[in-house]
Structure 1
């Protein structure tokens, strides 16, 4: 499968500031953003989640919620998945994500 053929549940943006580079993951449906250590490679495991940089508050002013590392690293077994649709639960059963981050930001949507 070519990278262009890989579906994902998110979009990415690489933002460069005077203090360095940050990779932002923007969920395709939900108004949430997360940050990872380096740009993801299509179809591969996501890089490690990182805390939002200080300038990320700008996303909150735009109506987005910043996801922190603890929330994204939470075992899926400990998360409340009661609001997921039947189709989403089927995908969880098939792909078996182990964390909230793996469920929210994935290549199988």
Structure 2
């Protein structure tokens, strides 16, 4: 299950450490090919590293609450759309440290409805009602948009 309580960043949850993520990236990858994205003016629930490989650039996203990592194809840093991809090489590098989420998991459609004042999410989850209300407000279309979000 991916949608664990607190994963959105709106409720208390365990946390991953950005400094540990940076250390893993620098030690596992060519340090000249690693750039960390610091966003100004955006509130997000993930850390982001741009990995420059021979023929492509890949963004590694690490949820700031749970040790879930995913990869996107090259995109603008402030672009809110995440073109998630599977990358075997990067999955092998990061899987000893984090749970690598795949394209299929991240692109699962979000299905919810209202029941009286409550929001009911049909996807398997343990989210708090506060998070579900945020979900109803921001209207993510996929699980990946919940796990990696710019909600404030």
Report the TM-score when normalising by structure 1.
0.83
C-alpha spacing 1:61/1:34, structure 2 compared with 1 (3 Å): same
Q: Give, in angstroms, the shift of residue 19 of structure 1.
A: 5.2
The equivalent of 2:132 in structure 1 is: 89
State the superposition RMSD in angstroms.
1.8
Q: What runs of 5+ residues in structure 2 fail to find an aligned partner?
A: 1-38, 112-121
C-alpha spacing 1:108/1:25, structure 2 compared with 1 (3 Å): same
Matched, 1:31 2:74: no
Larger Rg: 2
Please, which of 85, 93, 109 is the counterpart of residue 75 of structure 1? 109
The separation in 1 between residues aligned to 2:129 and 2:124, in whole angstroms, is 14
The total of aligned residue pairs comes to 104
Q: Give, in angstroms, the shift of residue 22 of structure 1.
A: 1.7
The separation in 2 between residues aligned to 1:20 and 1:108, in whole angstroms, is 28
Higher helix share: 1
Q: After superposing the two structures, state which structure 1 stretch, 52-61 or 96-105, moved more.
A: 52-61
Q: What runs of 5+ residues in structure 1 fail to find an aligned partner?
A: none
